[in-house]
Structure 1
Amino acid sequence: MEEAAAMLRPLQQHPHFADCLRAGGREVVQTDAGVMLLRRFGLANVGLVSRGSAEMLEAQPPARTLRLFTPDHPMGTEMQDHGFARLRPAVKVAEWDISGPDLRSGLRKTWRHALDRADGLKLALTHMPDASNHWLLMAEQRQARDKRYRALPLWLTRAWATLHPKDSLLIEARAKGAVVAGMVFLRHGEVATYHISFTTPLGRQMEAHRVMLWRAAAHFASRGVVRLDLGTLDIDAAPGLARFKLGTGAQARALGGTWVSVPGLAAVRRQFVRQFPSGKKA
């Protein structure tokens, strides 16, 4: 059962991710349940658990380490019992089940029709090369800077390409003799995660993103992957991107929010529960 659960872990809790963090000189606490990244911010030692399971609540960082924890599923009571207080509300992720026999039937009508109209692209599927100057990595860096969003660092992508190249997928789309778009996916167990992408104006006009994502789904489904993680959804800030992801038939799922450990809070809560089992004050 534990081995099966490990095959479905999110990217941030997979052993491949821990390997890449170590290759980048980062310190981690790794258990059978997942991964904790240890960082230092000013005078504070911080243990970061991203999309962790309930079992990762038992992972012990070094003494006097503040813990930040983002559960992969809602589990408020358990977090409080372990001395955590909520810091941020939950976000949602888009997860596409690609395990069925007919992927196409799950596409929304507008998504399917746009895919049918796409024409003229030539796709090349390879593994991500270990090259910091690869055009897609450079384009992604510029895009992140221009649009002011935070992406996983370049060194982590390169570490994955070096350590686990066969668990990466690079798709490049060409039209009129030039590369017009690219996408990278990272496979971890029976899940693959959308990692980075870039599309030129011509690529957008030719629906390159749609064609590449569809090709990636078919590629992974034929190789035993059961789910594509399409990343977070922000319907307010990026409604078009959210519609694009959900148009595949992906489901929106809430994570568990962001929590911070508060020294002594767990002991206080246990004492309160012992004195007032009903949860009500006397």
Structure 2
Amino acid sequence: MPRHHDPDNMPTIKDKKDPLFPIYLPLKIFDDEEYDCRTPEEWISLGLEPGSHDRKPVPGKALLPTDAVLGHEDPKNPKLIYQWIDVGVLDYDKKTKLYLVHKTKNGMVRDEEGRPILNGQVTSRGRAPLLPCQYWVPRVRLLFLAEDPRVFAQRVVSADNLRKKTQALLLYNLYVDSMPTDGLNSISEESLQRMEFWYMAGISKEVRLDYERTMNKISFDRIVASKPEMFSYVTLPDKEEEKVPEKGMEHSEAAGIQHGYGASFL
């Protein structure tokens, strides 16, 4: 979505307002669903009336481009103007987490032939092609008339603040990573060797403990299995069944070849 700035009144660092650099991260990825009082399925089900199988559009307002043609061809075109427009919510896509909305005309949702649109525009032949007045929008750009607009406003502000903070941190790390390293004090070889020593010592200790535990486990399992009456209070873990490979050599054959006497297995 394009952002319009007054070239004669651009913000500065001292203003501490909008970022000096363009916003390039989409707002929808910072949306907090905890603000929602209903699930997407519950919102869509509001279009169902008792005793009827036809689902009607759910009234709301969506942030949409005023130019329908350019809005579909190039949604990020700087010439586009976006406004909050009355819509009817037709459907929801679980994969994309987008809502299908239809701009109202005189408060009604009608197709090109003036007929009411029911069941999300889905018929026995499938979903009809998208009309110029229809858009798939994220939840952060859709206000249902049945929700508290103050909570929705907090939702948008929270997402925008998180987006600004994230972009600022990305820029900060970019600045640090782009700084020259010439002339800086590098870590000494002695320090590197010391860290490698302690790292390898820690790994060796873990391997040794794991080996000793495995050997104790084998001995303990053998003793418990040989005297089940004496160790009736001990439960041995289930043994994992060894899988025989469908292709390739078995372990014994491979081991024999490695030791130079594999000819006897052929």
Q: TM-score, normalised by structure 2?
A: 0.27
Q: Which has the larger radius of gyration?
A: 2
Which one has a larger percent strand, Structure 1 or Structure 2?
1
TM-score normalised according to structure 1 size: 0.26
